[in-house]
Chains A and B, each alone.
Chain A
Amino acid sequence: MASRLLWASRAASYLRISVFHRGFSSVIKDLKYADSHEWVKVDGNSATIGITDHAQDHLGDVVYVELPEVGVTVKQDASFGAVESVKATSDVNSPVSGKVVEVNEELSSSPALVNSSPYEDGWIIKVEMDNAGELKKLMDADQYTKFCEEEDSKH
């Protein structure tokens, strides 16, 4: 058991995934995180956005994703869409401001990708950022991990 845990820890390190065992939610090292549990992957001026493993785990099985239209503007901290799970719609908020340049159409037919692959195939929108400085307001992986632990410990 101990050797298996060690292997898992080394594999996680190689893949740049932090695994904290409380709730078993994963956090990816090179992403930035909002306190409303969205992640953003930055590549130049382009931002790919989705919801975190922590969020999808707490939401339950996603059955529907409401996507914005390509071309609309999004504002940091403001809602741009929603996911439906259990009996609820939950807002998805943008970690950055900018213009939506692509949406993940796959989610219309396969909303469960948000659960099974929150950081990869379950991405939701891509945004052309208009103010990269906003990234400073977001958390890094370690800060987000701690944030989730604190939030869960209150309940």
Chain B
Amino acid sequence: MIQQQGKKVGLPLMNLVRLNRTPILKQLHLEEKLLRKSSTNWCIINDGTDTPAIVMGISGKPSELLEIGSVLRDQVPVIKRFTGGGTVVVDKGTVFVTLICNKDDVPGVQPYPRSIMSWSGLLYNQVFKGIADFQLRENDYVFGNRKFGGNAQSITKNRWIHHTSFLWDYAEGNMAFLKQPARAPEYRMERGHTEFICRMNEYLPRTDFIEKTTEAVETYFSVKNVNLEATEEPCGAEFVPSTRLLSKQELEEALGPQPEIIGVSV
């Protein structure tokens, strides 16, 4: 079999877009557009986002998930994304990997959450083989019993997206913006954030992770590196994403009425 560099005969094509410190809101808008408007497979790797942000899933309620007072005080942007799943704080230490696929190009994977999640576990098993005790555990990527990658998906009639935020590094202070969620995996066992999560940088170099991820994707797809401009071509301009930034007013309303502090003269 003759193999051209970067092409494998018989495998479906996947466009790979490498981004660096692209704002997470811009990334999510791009992903939502590509899911809905493109008919090509895409892999997007964004090496960090520019400034810290909180990203909630489609049904997330700020009053239940966030320490809103701290969020407002520190003016941290809060985004509600188009996929399901939980809440994350992201910053320059987060590596994002996204796969957008035509369901027919991933044979053997049914377009349902558990099937897609299971397949993703196999893919990342290749990435972390021999490096650490990697597992897909109750929809999270873990080393041992500590989470380092959170997943979310959106499934349309013929396509699906599976995207992951990887905790390359994180600022412990940022975790204070998040409440302990009511819906948590069993293996969390009521641990606080800092006891539950771990940093990937303790396990392998950043460049190795990205290189191995690309190699793992290449076992399923014929990967072609493209630039950001390539994402414009198939989609046109007419798309309004549902992913959005919550307004200060929305957050204040979620916080509810605050007790008025009356000064006492002495």
Contact = CB atoms under 8 A, between A and B. Distances in A.
Interface stretch (B79-87, B202-210, B221-229, B232-240): B79-87
B110 A66 contact: no
B6 interface: no
A131 interface: no
Q: Is the interface of B mostly helix, strand, loop or mixed?
A: loop
Contacts of B77: none
A87 interface: yes
A85 B117 CA distance: 12
Contact of A86 (B58, B110, B113): B113
Contact of A88 (B107, B109, B113): B113
Given A63-B59, A63-B183, A155-B109, A86 B114 contact: yes
Interface in B132-155: 139, 151-155
B57 interface: yes
Given A58-B112, A84-B59, A91 B84 contact: no
A85 B156 contact: no
Given A77-B157, A155-B109, A87 B117 contact: yes
A60 interface: yes
A59 interface: yes
Q: Is the interface of A mostly helix, strand, loop or mixed?
A: strand
Interface in A25-61: 36, 58-60
Nearest to B116: A88
Contacts of A154: 107-108
A151 B115 CA distance: 13
Given A82-B58, A155-B110, A91 B156 contact: yes
Given A59-B113, A63-B183, A87 B156 contact: no
Nearest to A87: B85
A155 B114 contact: no
Interface in A58-76: 58-60, 63-64, 66
A80 to B, nearest CB: 12
Given A58-B110, A82-B58, 11 more contacts: A77-B157, A84-B59, A85-B84, A86-B117, A87-B153, A88-B113, A88-B152, A88-B154, A91-B156, A151-B110, A155-B110
